[in-house]
Amino acid sequence: EDSPYLKSLEKALESAKVSMENSKSAFERRERLFLQGLIPKEAYEQSKTQYEIAKREYERAKNAYEDAIRSINTEKRVLEADLQRLLKEKEKYVIKSPIEGYVLKKYVSRGDYINHISQENKLFSIGSRDWEVWLEVDEEYAGLVKEGQRVALKLDAYPDRTFEGKVAKIIREVDRSRKLITVKVFADLPKETPFGATVDGQIEVENKKVLLIPAIAYRDGYVLVYDGIRKIRVPVEVGERFGEYIEVKSGLRPGQRVVLP
């Protein structure tokens, strides 16, 4: 709408309007004088003709301007429709990642040909913006791990810092060759943390104080305790087992020395 052509039409329309208004004023003055018998009919007719010519010129300029506006608007709608069509066409040639994140590695270069039918094409490796940590946990502790538990994480990249996370998912299928389960943890890690970094994690399975003894010291309802002189058989009640240790609920007190086989 700011084109030189449209501006020239606007200028012509304004000029025709001023000319028409001047001719109208002159005609109205001469009309009054003619009616008073102060000027001849020829002067009146001449003024009337000039006004009618100016009026037609104004109408012509106005129509030309309005036609130009309609033409521009029509062309604009056509161009906008073409743009939308081209944008939709462009979508066919854009490959989008299914997740938001960071490009970790690029496997192709500009100009490379890609077979869109093949499933073997690898274009980019994308890392999610949401940090996920995968921990391997000994299957002995599988029953203790629950979603929502707090996790303390240590990374080789930040040896002097401890980060916090939460258990988000537990893969209950055991890797039988290594006797491990996999646990997914959502963690609040620095943006600069390298993907694939080595992580050590400690899952807070329960926040309580218990008395633990080596599991091999427990002998079917009792343990042997050394009192400084001899070994004494002490009945005990045990609870949960934690790897190589077992909880003692009653029968022992902290500081007593148990005898291992």
Residue 111 included in any domain: no
Q: Looking at per-residue confidence, does 172 or 62 come out higher? A: 62
**Residue 193: predicted pLDDT:** 83
238 in the same domain as 171: no
Alpha carbon distance 46, 25 (integer Å)? 14
Residue 144 included in any domain: yes
pLDDT higher than threshold 80 for residue 130:
no
Task: Compute CA distances 252 → 128, 145, 215, 240, whole Å.
Answer: 50, 27, 14, 16
pLDDT higher than threshold 80 for residue 67:
yes
- Residue 135 and residue 151 in contact, taking contact as beta carbons nearer than 8 Å: yes
* Number of domains forming the structure of the chain: 3
Provide the CATH number for the domain around residue 244: 2.40.420.20
Alpha carbon distance 58, 51 (integer Å)? 10
Q: Looking at per-residue confidence, does 34 or 100 come out higher? A: 34
Residue 99 included in any domain: no
Confidence class of residue 113 from pLDDT cuts 50, 70 and 90?
confident
- Residue 141 and residue 205 in contact, taking contact as beta carbons nearer than 8 Å: yes
Residue 15 included in any domain: yes
**Residue 93: predicted pLDDT:** 76
Q: Hunting for tokens 């620095």 — which residue is that?
A: 190
pLDDT higher than threshold 70 for residue 61:
yes
Cross-strand bridge partners of residue 226 = 231, 257
Nearest to 19 by CA among 48, 57, 66: 57
**Residue 143: predicted pLDDT:** 81
Mean pLDDT of the chain: 87
- With 0-12 / 13-18 / 19 or more C-beta atoms within 10 angstroms meaning exposed / middle / buried, residue 20 is buried
Mean pLDDT of 165-190: 90
**Structural domain containing residue 145:** 130-203
pLDDT higher than threshold 70 for residue 117:
no
Mean pLDDT of 161-178: 90
Residue 115 included in any domain: no
Collapsed DSSP state (helix, strand, coil) of residue 68: helix
Q: Hunting for tokens 């305790």 — which residue is that?
A: 225
pLDDT higher than threshold 80 for residue 162:
yes
The secondary structure of residue 252, as a DSSP letter, is -
Alpha carbon distance 223, 191 (integer Å)? 52
Residue 100 included in any domain: no
The secondary structure of residue 110, as a DSSP letter, is T
199 in the same domain as 218: no
Provide the CATH number for the domain around residue 35: 1.10.287.470
Residue 119 included in any domain: no
Alpha carbon distance 216, 244 (integer Å)? 8
pLDDT digits (tens, 9 = 90+) for 182-240: 999 988 888 788 877 889 998 887 666 789 999 999 998 999 999 888 999 999 999 88
Residue 98 included in any domain: no
